Chains A and B, each alone.
Chain A
Amino acid sequence: MLFQIDVVAEPVPGDLPIWLITLGIEAMFLGVVIHTVQQRGLYSQYTKRERLVGVFGLGIGYFFIALSFISANFGLYGTYLYLLFRTVEGAAALAIFIRILSYFRSGSYSTNLSSKARHILFVFFIMTVGVSLLLKVLIDDPFIGGVWYNLSLVYTVLVAVLTFVAVRWRLRKVQADTNIGVTGGIALGVAGGQIYGYSLGGEIAILLVGSVLYAIGFWSAVAFVFSDGVWGLFSDSTCSQCDADLSQYNDPKFCPQCGNPV
């Protein structure tokens, strides 16, 4: 269990990470299939029974085939998803610096504050429920198993839920291009990888590699943004041919006035 007390406590329930990863793979596949079918307008071609057999057969069939090759590699796949997401998180960390920069430049905070506030409140709500349950375990009688079992159970579920919510939030802009199943599946997989019971050595190695990938994600995003994003604010934004002001257009490839390549 990453960032957790795995040396003394295993994830409870023990099968939760495995099921989260498996359901994540299934949700991703179904999300892609449904998205493709909707995009190509294939849905209306088939009768209700055919659709049922198609979705059931392909969905459950894929589930079993995926399970056959992943059944010995749950930890490996969970690690892959976790590391992949750490890279995206590293890139996303740049956003806060860009917002501070734009705040000082323009005096306004350019983001959707209401959706962000809802997300923060939701995370706060989950944290509050989790901490209340942890306190209840400590001060009250065991309500499921022993004290240590209950603590591990609450902590495992809390970390899984928080990871799921965090990944869904981070991938919210991709959802418009794909499907809720795809982003939800990735979130389930990353949550499964987060609470998977690795060995201590493996856990430390994953944390180190994750930190390196986080840094790579951050600095590569810095390189991209500062190469033509932020530096573009200070560069000459007029057309070389007709001297038209290009700063009012969002990253134009051609001059809208004369058609000259920018």
Chain B
Amino acid sequence: MVEPITQWEPALLREIGITLCIIAITILGTHHIPDLKKNPRLRFLITASVVIMVLGGMDRYPVVTEALTIAVAVAAVGIPLAVCTRAYKIIVTTN
């Protein structure tokens, strides 16, 4: 029986997440290069190369993984904090 996603190893979850994010960022980023925009095969090759490079680099430079994890953690903590601060401000200023 397959374990629920919430019980998967953090390292595996991180690798899947980083891979998907890099694919998305590369696809969206290469949109602005006219030569690549018209050549989907080259675009695919570049995306695959970037994914391999980053995943390979993650082992050599763990600081990249840590930085990405910290960025996600900051977003997860910061978004509710910003929204609740805004709600607080609205409550205080509209009364």
Supposing A57-B20, A64-B16 touch, asked if A28 and B69 sit within 8 A by C-beta, the answer is no
Q: Verify if B79 is at the interface (C-beta below 8 Å from A).
A: yes
Number of chain B residues close to chain A: CB under 8 A: 42
Residue from B7, B21, B88, B91 having most chain A Cβ neighbours under 10 A: B91
Residues of A within 8 A of B63 (CB): none
Supposing A72-B10, A98-B95 touch, asked if A170 and B87 sit within 8 A by C-beta, the answer is yes
Mark interface residues in A169-182 (1 if CB within 8 Å of B CB, else 0).
01101100110001
Q: What bracket does the count of chain A residues touching chain B fall in? A: 35 or more
A60 to B91, CA, bound (A): 34
The answer to whether A63 and B17 touch across the interface, beta carbons within 8 angstroms, is yes
A247 to B95, CA, bound (A): 16
A contacts with B: majority SS: helix
Residue from A46, A66, A217, A229 having most chain B Cβ neighbours under 10 A: A66
Q: Which of A54, A94, A182, A221 contacts B79 (CB 8 A)?
A: A182
CB contacts under 8 Å to A, within B42-95, are 68-69, 72-73, 75-77, 79-81, 83-84, 86-88, 90-92, 94-95
CB contacts under 8 Å to B, within A181-215, are 182-183, 185-186, 189
**Chain B interfacial positions (CB closer than 8 Å to A):** 4-8, 10-11, 13-14, 16-25, 27-28, 31, 68-69, 72-73, 75-77, 79-81, 83-84, 86-88, 90-92, 94-95
**Chain A interfacial positions (CB closer than 8 Å to B):** 15, 18-19, 22, 25, 28-29, 32, 45-46, 50, 53-58, 60-72, 77, 80-81, 84-85, 87-88, 91-92, 94-95, 98, 170-171, 173-174, 177-178, 182-183, 185-186, 189, 217, 221, 224-225, 229
